[in-house]
Amino acid sequence: MRNYLLLVTILLTVAHSGCSKKHDAGKVENTPAVVVKGVSMETVKSSAMPELLDVVGSVRARTSAVVSTRIPGSISILCVREGDRVKKGQLLAQLDARENQATAAVATAAIDEARRGLDEAQSRKKLADSTFDRYNNLLKEQAVSRQEFDVKQTEKDVAAQEAARAESRLRQAQEGAKASTTMSDYTRIIAPISGIVASKQADLGATVFPGQPLMTIEDDGSYQLELALPENVAAKVKPGTALQVTLDAVGSSFAARIAEIVPTADPASRTFIAKIALNQKGLKSGMFGRGALNIGTSVNGITVPKRAVVEHGALTSVWVVDKDNIARMRIVKVGRANGERMEILAGLSDGERIVVSGAEKITEGARVE
C-alpha cells in the first residue's frame, strides 16, 4: 500500500510539471511579434545582366629604372635605403675601383707631358722659321750657297711636322683622359630618374660587376594596372575598351578604359598584358588588382542594393520579408559589385521582398509595417 501511494504521488507531480510546461509554452507562442516601422523594401526581380570576364593583375609604376654598374668594384659608400625618395642626379652609391682611378691619374699626367712636348716642338719650329727667313735673305744677297739654304728649308719643314705630331699627341692624350675620367666617374652611381627606391639588390661592401643590378627606382607619381588577359578574348579587347577595376588594398572600385595592350602574348601562360592608367592615392608597386570585362553576352541574374546586404564576419545575409510581413534572415552568396548594386549568386528567388533600408532595426521574426 505504501509503494502504491508513492507511485501515485510521483505520477501526480510529473503531470503537474507537464501541465506547467504546456502552459508556459502557450504563453511564448501567444507573445506578440516585435513591430518595426520606417523601413523600405524592394521586390527582387531577375533581369538580363552582361556576362563579365574577371581578370587579375598587379599595379606597376609606369616609369622605373634598374640601376646597375658599368665597372667592377666594391661598394664603399651606400647613400640610400629601400623606401627612400631620390632626385635625378643624386648620388646613390660610390664604388672603390682603384684601378680606374689610377688610370685616370695616368691619363692626366699624359696630358701634361704631351703639352710640354708641344711647347718644345713649337719652340723648335719658331727657331727653324726664323733661321730659314735669314738664310732666304742671305741667298738673295748670294751670301750663302744654295745647299746651305736647302738644309735650313728642310729643317723648317721637319720642325713644322714635329709640331703637328706634338699637337696630335696632345689631342690623343686629352681624349684618353676623357675616357679615363668617364670610367672613373662610373664609380659614382647616380640616380637616372626621380622617384622612390623600390628594391635594393646590393649592400655596403659587396663586390659588384658590370651589368649587375644594384637597386630599382620607381616614379611613384604614376602607376598603371597590368592585367593578364587570356588570348581567347584578344579579338574582343582593344585600347579604349571599358571595364570595372577593383583595387582591394585601397578600397577602390571604378570604371576605366584600357590604355594600352602589349601586342605579344606570354607563351607560358597564354595571356597578354592590358595596361590601365591609375591616379588613386596610396598605390604601391605590386599591389593586387582585378578587372571585369564585358565579353558581349548576357545572362539572367539578381542584383540588390549594396545597403541591403548585411555582413556578419564571414557570413553575408539579407532580411527577407514573407507574405505575412515577418522578417527572416537569409544567408546569400554575393558576386561582383556593379555601381551601387550587388550581384546575388544564390539565396534569393525572383519575387521575394527584401529590406533595403532600416535593416539595423530588424530582428528575427519581427513584423514589418
Task: Say if residue 71 is in the same domain as residue 214.
Answer: yes
The pTM of this model reads: 0.54
Task: Say if residue 351 is in the same domain as residue 324.
Answer: yes
CATH code at position 191: 2.40.50.100
pLDDT-derived band at 231 (thresholds 50, 70, 90) equals: confident
Strand, coil or helix: 63: coil
Strand, coil or helix: 72: coil
Using DSSP bridges, classify how beta strands 367-368 and 315-321 pair: parallel, antiparallel or unpaired: unpaired
Task: Say if residue 77 is in the same domain as residue 204.
Answer: yes
The stretch 357-366 carries a mean pLDDT of 80
Question: Is residue 107 predicted with pLDDT exceeding 90?
Answer: no
The stretch 131-151 carries a mean pLDDT of 85
Question: Is residue 278 predicted with pLDDT exceeding 80?
Answer: yes
What's the domain range around 280?
Answer: 54-62+220-298
For residue 320, being part of any structural domain is answered with yes
For residue 162, being part of any structural domain is answered with yes
The total of structural domains in the chain comes to 4
Percentages helix, strand, coil for the chain (3-state, rounded to 5) are 35, 40, 30
For residue 14, being part of any structural domain is answered with no
pLDDT-derived band at 334 (thresholds 50, 70, 90) equals: confident
pLDDT of residue 20: 43
pLDDT of residue 214: 93
Q: Which of 197, 219, 241 is the last residue of a domain?
A: 219
Joined together, the cell numbers standing for residue 229 give 588577359
* DSSP secondary structure code for residue 245 in this structure: E
Condensed to tens digits (0 to 9), the pLDDT of residues 186-214 reads: 788 999 999 999 889 989 988 889 889 99
pLDDT higher at 224 or 29: 224
Joined together, the cell numbers standing for residue 39 give 523601413
For residue 163, the tally of other CB atoms under 10 A from its CB is 21
For residue 11, being part of any structural domain is answered with no
Task: Say if residue 213 is in the same domain as residue 86.
Answer: yes
